[in-house]
Homo-oligomer: A and B are copies of this chain.
Amino acid sequence: MSRTKPGPSAPGPSATGPIRLGQQARAILRPTTATMTTGFWQRRRQVNADVGIPQGPELLENAGNLHNLRLVAGAVEGAFEGDYPFQDTDVYKWLEAASWQLLQDATAGRDTTALASTVQGIIALVSAAQEPDGYLNTWFQSGKGAGRYTDLRWGHELYCAGHLIQAGVAHHRATGEPELLSVAVRFADHIDSVFGPGGSGKPLDGFDAHPEVETALVELYRETGERRYLDLAGYFVDRHGHGVHHHEAYCQDRVPVREAETVEGHAVRQLYLLAAVADLAAETGEGDLAAAAARLWHAMTTTKTHLTGGVGAHHDKEDFGDPFELPNERAYCETCAAVASIQFSWRMALLTGDARYSDLIERTLFNGFLAGVSLDGEEWLYVNPLQVRDGYVSAGGDQSSRRTRWFRCACCPPNVMRLLASLEHYVASTDGSGLQIHQYASGVCTGQAGDEQVAVRVETEYPWRGPVALTVEKTAGTPWTLSLRIPQWCSAYTLTRDGVPVDADVDDEGWLRVERVWAEGDRVELDLDLSLRLVSADPRVDAVRGCVAIEHGPLVYCLEQADHPDGGLDDLVVDVRTPLAVKERPDLLGGVVTVVATGRRRTLAQPNWWPYTPAGAHGDSGTTGARDTGEPVPGEALELTAVPYYAWANRTTGSMRVWLPTL
C-alpha cells in the first residue's frame, strides 16, 4: 500500500475506452492503446462479437425492453413489459457494448455497417422516449411508479441514467457521433437541475440507493469538460451515509464512504460506488477519498473475496457477508459484481500504479467473470457458486446455479458484453516514462516515453503456457521502462534476452521493471512458471477448512460431474501426496489444459438417521444401544480430472466443486 495518495499527473492522454483520464488527473497511470489479436481472450471476444452482441436486440425485444421505449415514445400502445424499474439499463449496456465493438471493428478494418445501423435504430428509440426536459425512465414514464424520484430506494432512475451516460460516452468515443451523448447530457442536466445539497435551491437532496450515476457523471465530465458533472458526482458520493435511506447498508447508506472500514451491503452497489470514489480521487486529488478506496479494496480482498475473484456472499440482499464468510454452494458472486470489481480495481491501478490491482483483475477475469457466459456465448449465469452439490435442486429463476438463456433481471449479460468488447482497455498503461503491461495477451501494447510513443508486440499462449515474447516495435530516443506485472500467484519466472537472463527485480508493487535504451526489434522473453498449485485458504475461511483448490497459472480449476460419471462429487477426496499433472485437451471445452489428480471415493456405510457422532468414534457401536453413522472407508485410487472453472456448466447440469477435501 505504498502509493494510496494520488501522485503527480502523468503525461499523455488516455487511449479511447471507458476511462479517459485527462492531463490534470492525479493518477499515476493512463490506459493506453493495446490490441488482443489472437489467443485466449480474442477467442472469447470473437464469440462476443459474433454471438453475444448480435443476439442482444432480439433478446431485448423479447423481454419487452425495446417495447417499453416505443411505448413511452408513443409509437405503440400497451403496457410496460417486465417487472423492474431498471430495465432500460439492459438497453444502455447493450448500446455501450455495441459501441465498443464498433470501435474494435473499425480499428480492425471490418465492415461496421450492419451493427452501426442497428445501434442507430435503438439510439433513435431511446432519443424518442426521452421527455422534453431530459427525463427518461420507461417504468415511471409508463405510470408504473408513483412519480419521478418518489422512490429513490427502489426506483433506480439515477442508476438508469448512469448507464445511459456511459453508453452515450462510449458511443461518442467510439464513433464520434453525438446523438446518444446528447440524450445523456440532457438527462444529466435534468438531474443536475433537480438534485443538490440543502440550500442549493435544488428541489431534491438525496441519492439513488443503487450507485452507478456517480462514476458515469465523472466520465461525462471527462468527456465534455463540464465541471458541473464532476461536482454532482461528488455531491452524490458524499451524500451516502447520512440516513437518506435509513442508514441501510443495502443502500450504501450505513456510514459515509470516507469513514467506511469495510465493504458491505449489496456488492454491485458497493463496487460501482467505489469506482466513483476512485474516479473522484483522481480528478479532485482528495487524499482521503483515495485512502478510503484503497482501504476498502484491501478489506474486500483480504476478507470478502472468493478464490475466483467473485464477491458477494449472500443470495439474500445480494450482499457482502461478514469477514471470512465465503460459502461455496451459496457464494453469490454475481457476474455484475465481478464486472464492478474489475472496474473498481482498474481505476485503483491507474490511480496508484500498483500492480496488485491488476492481479485481482486477472483473477476475476479468468474465473469469476468469465464463468458468467457460456462458451457458445448464448447462455448466462447470474450467480457463480464455487460448488453445486450432488442432489442440487434448482429453484429456477435468476439465482439458479444453472445456465439460463436470459434473466427476468437481465443486468449481467450486457455487462459481460460491454466488458469483453472493451477488454483491450484493461491491458496496458503508461506512466509517461514507458509502458506497463498488466494483462498478457497476444497483440501490441503502446506506451509513452516523454512525448514519444513506444510500442511492444506481445506473443504468448497464456494462460495455457508461460512464455511471453516481447518485441519492441516502436521506441524512443531516450531510456524508457518496460514494466511487466509478475502475477501474485507466480513464484518463479525468468526474463531473458537472447537466452541471457536480464537483471531485474520485482518491486513492491508487483512490477518487473526493465529500464534501458530500447531499440526497435529488441526482444525479451518472460517465462512465467504456471506452477500447478494446490492452494489453501486463511484458516478463518471456515467454509474451506481441510480443503485445497487447484490452480494453474491464473486459472482456478474445478471438478465437474461430467468428468466423473461413476458417482457424486461430494464423496471424493483428493490425495495431496500424489503429484498432479497437466494434460492438454484440445478436444475438450473448446480446448483447455486439464489437471489430473489422484483421489479416492469415500464409501460411507448406510447412514443411520443422525449424521453427527462422537469425534474419532465413527463406527463405534458402543455397548448399550447407541446408534451411529458408519465409518468412511476410502476407496481405490482413481483419476480426477479438473477443468478450468470458467468452463464449467457447459456440458451437463451435474455437480461441481472448486474446493476439494483432502485424504
A610–B390 contact, CB under 8 A?
Answer: no
Answer yes or no: A335 CB below 8 A from chain B CBs.
no
8 Å CB contacts to B: which residues of A207-249? 248-249
Q: Which residues of B contact A547 (CB under 8 A)?
A: 542, 545
A298 CA / B545 CA spacing, docked (Å): 28
B612–A538 contact, CB under 8 A?
Answer: yes
The segment from A4-12, A13-21, A117-125, A528-536 found at the interface with B is A528-536
Contact check: which of B324, B512, B618, B626 meets A488 at CB < 8 Å? B626
Nearest B residue (CB) for A1: B609
B315–A661 contact, CB under 8 A?
Answer: no
B609–A298 contact, CB under 8 A?
Answer: yes
A321–B329 contact, CB under 8 A?
Answer: yes
Q: Which residues of B contact A659 (CB under 8 A)?
A: 542
Q: Which residues of B contact A399 (CB under 8 A)?
A: 316
Nearest B residue (CB) for A611: B538
Q: Which residues of B contact A393 (CB under 8 A)?
A: 249, 254, 264, 322
B488–A632 contact, CB under 8 A?
Answer: no
Answer yes or no: A575 CB below 8 A from chain B CBs.
no
Contact check: which of B248, B314, B539, B540 meets A330 at CB < 8 Å? B314
B302–A607 contact, CB under 8 A?
Answer: yes
Tell whether A322 pairs with B391 under 8 Å between CB atoms, given A314-B330, A615-B535: yes
Question: How far, in Å, is A257 (CB) from chain B's closest CB?
Answer: 16
Tell whether A624 pairs with B535 under 8 Å between CB atoms, given A322-B329, A541-B611, A545-B661: no
Q: Which residues of B contact A604 (CB under 8 A)?
A: 538-540
A625–B535 contact, CB under 8 A?
Answer: no
Nearest B residue (CB) for A536: B615
Answer yes or no: A323 CB below 8 A from chain B CBs.
yes
Question: How far, in Å, is A387 (CB) from chain B's closest CB?
Answer: 7
B325–A329 contact, CB under 8 A?
Answer: yes
Answer yes or no: A116 CB below 8 A from chain B CBs.
no
Q: Which residues of B contact A629 (CB under 8 A)?
A: 538
Answer yes or no: A327 CB below 8 A from chain B CBs.
yes
A618 CA / B493 CA spacing, docked (Å): 20
Q: Which residues of B contact A540 (CB under 8 A)?
A: 570-571, 604, 611
Question: How far, in Å, is A483 (CB) from chain B's closest CB?
Answer: 13
Q: Looking at A490, A492, A545, A571, which has the most chain B CB atoms within 10 Å of its CB? A: A545
A325 CA / B614 CA spacing, docked (Å): 20
A627 CA / B359 CA spacing, docked (Å): 11
Q: Which residues of B contact A298 (CB under 8 A)?
A: 609
Question: How far, in Å, is A363 (CB) from chain B's closest CB?
Answer: 9
Answer yes or no: A200 CB below 8 A from chain B CBs.
no
Answer yes or no: A187 CB below 8 A from chain B CBs.
no
A625–B505 contact, CB under 8 A?
Answer: yes
Contact check: which of B324, B492, B548, B607 meets A623 at CB < 8 Å? B492
Q: Give A287-320 as 1s and 0s: 1 = Cβ < 8 Å from B's Cβ atoms.
A: 0000000000010011101010000001111010
Contact check: which of B389, B395, B542, B545 meets A387 at CB < 8 Å? B542
Q: Please give the number of chain A residues whose Cβ is less than 8 angstroms from any Cβ of chain B in the complex.
A: 90
8 Å CB contacts to B: which residues of A325-345? 325, 327-330
Nearest B residue (CB) for A332: B316
Q: Give A330-368 as 1s and 0s: 1 = Cβ < 8 Å from B's Cβ atoms.
A: 100000000000000000000000001001000000000
B576–A627 contact, CB under 8 A?
Answer: no
Q: Which residues of B contact A622 (CB under 8 A)?
A: 491-492
Copies in the complex: 2
A539–B661 contact, CB under 8 A?
Answer: yes
Nearest B residue (CB) for A622: B491
Question: How far, in Å, is A640 (CB) from chain B's closest CB?
Answer: 16
Question: How far, in Å, is A543 (CB) from chain B's closest CB?
Answer: 7
Overall SS of chain A's interface: loop
B491–A323 contact, CB under 8 A?
Answer: no
Nearest B residue (CB) for A547: B545
Question: How far, in Å, is A311 (CB) from chain B's closest CB?
Answer: 13
Contact check: which of B392, B535, B538, B616 meets A614 at CB < 8 Å? B535
Answer yes or no: A486 CB below 8 A from chain B CBs.
yes
Question: How far, in Å, is A238 (CB) from chain B's closest CB?
Answer: 22
Answer yes or no: A637 CB below 8 A from chain B CBs.
no
Contact check: which of B488, B535, B609 meets A356 at CB < 8 Å? B609
Q: Which residues of B contact A264 (CB under 8 A)?
A: 393
A286 CA / B205 CA spacing, docked (Å): 65
Question: How far, in Å, is A481 (CB) from chain B's closest CB?
Answer: 17
Answer yes or no: A55 CB below 8 A from chain B CBs.
no
8 Å CB contacts to B: which residues of A598-654? 602, 604, 607-616, 618, 622-627, 629, 632
B486–A395 contact, CB under 8 A?
Answer: no
A622 CA / B486 CA spacing, docked (Å): 13
B322–A609 contact, CB under 8 A?
Answer: no
Answer yes or no: A510 CB below 8 A from chain B CBs.
yes
A327 CA / B369 CA spacing, docked (Å): 25
Answer yes or no: A537 CB below 8 A from chain B CBs.
yes
A144 CA / B505 CA spacing, docked (Å): 70
8 Å CB contacts to B: which residues of A466-487? 486
A36 CA / B198 CA spacing, docked (Å): 64
Q: Give A129-156 as 1s and 0s: 1 = Cβ < 8 Å from B's Cβ atoms.
A: 0000000000000000000000000000
Q: Looking at A298, A613, A624, A625, which has the most chain B CB atoms within 10 Å of its CB? A: A625
Q: Give A30-67 as 1s and 0s: 1 = Cβ < 8 Å from B's Cβ atoms.
A: 00000000000000000000000000000000000000
Answer yes or no: A506 CB below 8 A from chain B CBs.
yes
B391–A611 contact, CB under 8 A?
Answer: no
Q: Which residues of B contact A387 (CB under 8 A)?
A: 542
Q: Which residues of B contact A576 (CB under 8 A)?
A: 615-616
A324–B613 contact, CB under 8 A?
Answer: no
Answer yes or no: A410 CB below 8 A from chain B CBs.
no
Nearest B residue (CB) for A556: B612
Nearest B residue (CB) for A662: B615
Chosen A-B contacts, 13 in total, with CB atoms closer than 8 Å, are A301-B609, A302-B609, A321-B330, A323-B389, A327-B543, A490-B626, A491-B622, A535-B612, A535-B615, A536-B618, A539-B602, A540-B604, A549-B612
Counting from the closest, the 3 A-B pairs by CB-CB distance are A506-B625, A538-B611, A315-B316
6 additional contacts (CB under 8 A) given A539-B661, A540-B571, A542-B543: A250-B395, A307-B612, A322-B389, A325-B329, A545-B661, A576-B615
